[in-house]
Protein backbone atom coordinates (compact mmCIF):
# COMPACT_ATOMS: atom_id res chain seq x y z
CA UNK A 1 0.00 0.00 0.00
CA UNK A 2 1.21 3.57 -0.66
CA UNK A 3 2.55 5.26 2.45
CA UNK A 4 1.18 8.59 3.57
CA UNK A 5 3.18 11.78 3.79
CA UNK A 6 2.99 14.75 6.15
CA UNK A 7 3.48 18.33 4.98
CA UNK A 8 3.82 20.62 7.97
CA UNK A 9 1.36 19.11 10.45
CA UNK A 10 -1.11 17.91 7.80
CA UNK A 11 -1.10 14.22 6.80
CA UNK A 12 -1.85 13.24 3.19
CA UNK A 13 -2.67 9.66 2.16
CA UNK A 14 -0.35 9.65 -0.87
CA UNK A 15 2.21 11.75 -2.69
CA UNK A 16 -0.33 12.16 -5.48
CA UNK A 17 -2.65 13.88 -3.01
CA UNK A 18 0.09 16.42 -2.34
CA UNK A 19 0.67 16.88 -6.07
CA UNK A 20 -3.05 17.56 -6.48
CA UNK A 21 -2.84 20.36 -3.90
CA UNK A 22 0.02 21.88 -5.90
CA UNK A 23 -1.96 21.59 -9.12
CA UNK A 24 -4.98 23.25 -7.50
CA UNK A 25 -2.82 26.18 -6.37
CA UNK A 26 -1.48 26.57 -9.92
CA UNK A 27 -5.02 26.51 -11.33
CA UNK A 28 -6.41 29.01 -8.83
CA UNK A 29 -3.73 31.67 -9.26
CA UNK A 30 -2.81 31.22 -12.93
CA UNK A 31 0.43 32.13 -14.68
CA UNK A 32 2.24 35.06 -13.01
CA UNK A 33 -0.20 34.98 -10.11
CA UNK A 34 1.23 35.52 -6.63
CA UNK A 35 0.06 33.10 -3.94
CA UNK A 36 -1.79 35.22 -1.38
CA UNK A 37 -3.89 32.83 0.72
CA UNK A 38 -2.14 32.22 4.08
CA UNK A 39 -2.99 28.50 4.04
CA UNK A 40 -1.60 28.07 0.52
CA UNK A 41 1.52 30.01 1.49
CA UNK A 42 2.05 27.87 4.62
CA UNK A 43 1.58 24.66 2.64
CA UNK A 44 4.20 25.69 0.08
CA UNK A 45 6.69 26.77 2.75
CA UNK A 46 6.41 23.39 4.47
CA UNK A 47 6.62 21.59 1.14
CA UNK A 48 9.74 23.50 0.11
CA UNK A 49 11.47 22.50 3.37
CA UNK A 50 11.63 18.98 1.91
CA UNK A 51 13.50 20.08 -1.22
CA UNK A 52 17.01 18.53 -1.48
CA UNK A 53 18.44 22.00 -2.24
CA UNK A 54 16.32 23.93 0.24
CA UNK A 55 19.11 26.22 1.44
CA UNK A 56 20.07 27.13 -2.11
CA UNK A 57 16.47 27.73 -3.21
CA UNK A 58 15.57 29.74 -0.12
CA UNK A 59 18.55 32.09 -0.29
CA UNK A 60 18.20 34.95 2.20
CA UNK A 61 14.51 34.22 2.78
CA UNK A 62 11.14 33.71 1.11
CA UNK A 63 8.80 36.65 0.53
CA UNK A 64 6.03 34.72 -1.21
CA UNK A 65 5.28 32.19 -3.95
CA UNK A 66 4.27 32.63 -7.58
CA UNK A 67 2.91 30.54 -10.45
CA UNK A 68 5.23 30.62 -13.46
CA UNK A 69 5.38 29.26 -16.99
CA UNK A 70 8.24 27.05 -18.15
CA UNK A 71 9.12 27.23 -21.83
CA UNK A 72 11.40 24.48 -23.07
CA UNK A 73 12.04 23.47 -26.68
CA UNK A 74 8.90 21.70 -27.83
CA UNK A 75 7.33 21.72 -24.39
CA UNK A 76 5.45 24.22 -22.24
CA UNK A 77 4.43 23.70 -18.65
CA UNK A 78 3.28 25.62 -15.59
CA UNK A 79 4.92 25.36 -12.19
CA UNK A 80 5.71 27.08 -8.93
CA UNK A 81 8.46 29.46 -7.88
CA UNK A 82 9.45 31.29 -4.75
CA UNK A 83 10.14 35.01 -4.68
CA UNK A 84 13.00 35.77 -2.31
CA UNK A 85 13.16 38.75 0.01
CA UNK A 86 15.60 40.43 -2.40
CA UNK A 87 13.12 40.00 -5.28
CA UNK A 88 14.89 37.12 -7.03
CA UNK A 89 12.66 34.36 -8.39
CA UNK A 90 13.66 30.69 -8.12
CA UNK A 91 11.56 27.87 -9.51
CA UNK A 92 11.30 24.51 -7.76
CA UNK A 93 9.90 21.08 -8.53
CA UNK A 94 7.23 19.78 -6.19
CA UNK A 95 8.22 16.25 -7.24
CA UNK A 96 11.74 16.91 -5.91
CA UNK A 97 10.13 17.82 -2.58
CA UNK A 98 8.43 14.42 -2.50
CA UNK A 99 11.50 12.33 -3.30
CA UNK A 100 13.07 10.68 -0.23
CA UNK A 101 16.60 11.90 0.41
CA UNK A 102 19.40 9.38 0.70
CA UNK A 103 21.27 9.36 3.99
CA UNK A 104 24.38 10.70 2.24
CA UNK A 105 22.39 13.61 0.78
CA UNK A 106 20.98 14.43 4.22
CA UNK A 107 24.46 14.37 5.76
CA UNK A 108 25.82 16.73 3.10
CA UNK A 109 22.84 19.04 3.63
CA UNK A 110 23.48 19.04 7.39
CA UNK A 111 27.17 19.80 6.86
CA UNK A 112 26.30 22.67 4.53
CA UNK A 113 23.84 24.11 7.03
CA UNK A 114 26.44 23.89 9.79
CA UNK A 115 28.83 26.21 7.94
CA UNK A 116 26.20 28.68 6.70
CA UNK A 117 27.37 31.29 9.23
CA UNK A 118 30.92 31.07 7.85
CA UNK A 119 29.65 31.64 4.33
CA UNK A 120 27.56 34.61 5.50
CA UNK A 121 30.54 36.08 7.34
CA UNK A 122 32.67 35.74 4.18
CA UNK A 123 29.99 37.48 2.12
CA UNK A 124 29.70 40.32 4.63
CA UNK A 125 33.48 40.74 4.68
CA UNK A 126 33.54 41.08 0.89
CA UNK A 127 30.75 43.67 0.97
CA UNK A 128 32.33 45.61 3.86
CA UNK A 129 35.83 45.67 2.35
CA UNK A 130 35.10 48.70 0.18
CA UNK A 131 36.83 47.00 -2.74
CA UNK A 132 35.18 46.55 -6.17
CA UNK A 133 33.16 43.36 -6.45
CA UNK A 134 34.83 41.07 -8.98
CA UNK A 135 34.03 37.46 -9.82
CA UNK A 136 36.98 35.25 -8.83
CA UNK A 137 36.23 32.80 -11.65
CA UNK A 138 35.55 35.06 -14.65
CA UNK A 139 37.22 38.33 -13.61
CA UNK A 140 34.00 40.14 -14.55
CA UNK A 141 32.70 42.88 -12.21
CA UNK A 142 29.80 41.84 -9.97
CA UNK A 143 27.25 44.63 -10.55
CA UNK A 144 25.42 44.48 -7.20
CA UNK A 145 25.13 42.66 -3.89
CA UNK A 146 22.19 40.66 -5.23
CA UNK A 147 24.49 39.21 -7.91
CA UNK A 148 27.14 38.24 -5.35
CA UNK A 149 27.46 34.61 -4.26
CA UNK A 150 30.19 32.97 -2.19
CA UNK A 151 31.73 29.79 -3.59
CA UNK A 152 34.35 27.29 -2.47
CA UNK A 153 37.59 27.33 -4.45
CA UNK A 154 39.66 24.13 -4.40
CA UNK A 155 39.13 22.21 -2.19
CA UNK A 156 35.42 22.32 -3.02
CA UNK A 157 32.70 21.92 -0.43
CA UNK A 158 32.24 18.32 -1.54
CA UNK A 159 35.99 17.67 -1.21
CA UNK A 160 36.00 19.01 2.35
CA UNK A 161 32.80 17.23 3.36
CA UNK A 162 33.87 13.84 2.03
CA UNK A 163 37.30 14.23 3.59
CA UNK A 164 35.70 14.93 6.97
CA UNK A 165 33.11 12.16 6.68
CA UNK A 166 35.74 9.59 5.69
CA UNK A 167 37.96 10.62 8.58
CA UNK A 168 35.13 10.32 11.10
CA UNK A 169 33.79 6.84 10.54
CA UNK A 170 32.04 7.18 7.20
CA UNK A 171 28.56 8.42 6.35
CA UNK A 172 26.79 5.85 8.55
CA UNK A 173 28.47 7.36 11.61
CA UNK A 174 26.66 10.66 10.98
CA UNK A 175 23.16 10.67 12.43
CA UNK A 176 20.54 13.23 11.45
CA UNK A 177 18.60 15.08 14.15
CA UNK A 178 15.07 13.58 14.19
CA UNK A 179 12.20 15.70 12.92
CA UNK A 180 10.41 17.38 15.81
CA UNK A 181 7.09 16.77 14.07
CA UNK A 182 6.44 20.49 13.66
CA UNK A 183 8.18 20.72 10.30
CA UNK A 184 11.91 21.42 9.97
CA UNK A 185 13.63 24.27 8.20
CA UNK A 186 17.03 22.62 8.00
CA UNK A 187 18.55 19.17 8.20
CA UNK A 188 20.96 19.07 11.15
CA UNK A 189 23.44 16.62 12.67
CA UNK A 190 22.35 14.99 15.90
CA UNK A 191 25.90 14.95 17.35
CA UNK A 192 26.67 18.60 18.08
CA UNK A 193 30.27 17.86 19.12
CA UNK A 194 30.82 16.29 15.72
CA UNK A 195 29.17 19.30 14.13
CA UNK A 196 31.58 21.65 15.92
CA UNK A 197 34.57 19.59 14.75
CA UNK A 198 33.29 19.90 11.20
CA UNK A 199 32.88 23.67 11.58
CA UNK A 200 36.48 23.93 12.79
CA UNK A 201 37.70 21.68 9.93
CA UNK A 202 35.89 23.85 7.40
CA UNK A 203 37.15 27.09 8.98
CA UNK A 204 40.73 25.84 8.75
CA UNK A 205 40.60 24.38 5.23
CA UNK A 206 37.98 26.23 3.18
CA UNK A 207 38.92 28.93 0.69
CA UNK A 208 35.82 31.03 0.05
CA UNK A 209 35.65 33.45 -2.85
CA UNK A 210 33.19 35.91 -4.43
CA UNK A 211 31.57 34.82 -7.70
CA UNK A 212 28.76 35.98 -9.94
CA UNK A 213 25.43 34.40 -9.13
CA UNK A 214 25.06 32.94 -12.63
CA UNK A 215 28.49 31.34 -12.37
CA UNK A 216 27.64 29.75 -9.02
CA UNK A 217 24.20 28.60 -10.12
CA UNK A 218 25.22 27.20 -13.50
CA UNK A 219 28.86 26.84 -14.52
CA UNK A 220 30.24 25.74 -11.14
CA UNK A 221 27.29 23.48 -10.39
CA UNK A 222 27.71 21.71 -13.73
CA UNK A 223 31.41 21.27 -13.08
CA UNK A 224 31.23 20.21 -9.44
CA UNK A 225 27.76 18.73 -9.06
CA UNK A 226 24.99 19.66 -6.59
CA UNK A 227 25.97 20.66 -3.09
CA UNK A 228 29.49 21.86 -3.87
CA UNK A 229 29.10 25.62 -3.86
CA UNK A 230 27.45 28.02 -1.48
CA UNK A 231 25.40 31.13 -2.27
Q: Which domains does the chain have, with CATH numbers?
A: 5-97 (3.10.450.40), 103-224 (no CATH)
Q: How would you class 132 by CB atoms within 10 Å of its CB: exposed for 0-12, middle for 13-18, buried for 19 or more?
A: exposed
Check pLDDT > 90 for residue 18: yes
Check pLDDT > 90 for residue 106: no
* CA 13 – CA 4 distance, rounded (Å): 4
Residue 218: the pLDDT is 54
Residue 194: the pLDDT is 97
Residue 129: the pLDDT is 94
* CA 109 – CA 6 distance, rounded (Å): 20
Residue with the larger pLDDT of the pair 57 and 42: 42
* CA 48 – CA 25 distance, rounded (Å): 14
Nearest to 84 by CA among 63, 56, 69, 104: 63
Check pLDDT > 90 for residue 75: no
Amino acid sequence: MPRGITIGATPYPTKEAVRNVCRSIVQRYGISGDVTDPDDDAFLRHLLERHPEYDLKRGDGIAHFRVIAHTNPGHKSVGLALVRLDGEVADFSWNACLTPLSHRTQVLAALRHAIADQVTASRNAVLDSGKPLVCSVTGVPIPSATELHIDHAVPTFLDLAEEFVTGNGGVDAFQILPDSGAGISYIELEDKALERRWQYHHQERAVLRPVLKRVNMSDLRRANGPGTSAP
